[in-house]
Amino acid sequence: VESINRIRTISIWIFIVTFVSLNLCLLIAVNGHLLQGTIFQPDPIGQSG
């Protein structure tokens, strides 16, 4: 029973980390202008000098 709970906990963490990271990447890709003027300067693909 303890191993099942451990596997369940690890599975939930894997889901949460993947979900958050994918949504963060999508947010940055769609709203790159929000990061202008910060240390994170997004460079749009195809528009670099």
Angle at 47 between CA 32 and CA 49, to 5 degrees: 120
pLDDT class of 32 with cuts at 50, 70, 90: confident
Using a 10 angstrom Cβ sphere, with 0-12 exposed, 13-18 middle and 19 or more buried, the burial of residue 42 is middle
For the chain, domain boundaries: 2-35
**Global model pTM greater than 0.75:** no
More confident residue, 6 or 1: 6
Per residue in 6-26, pLDDT tens? 999 999 999 999 999 999 989
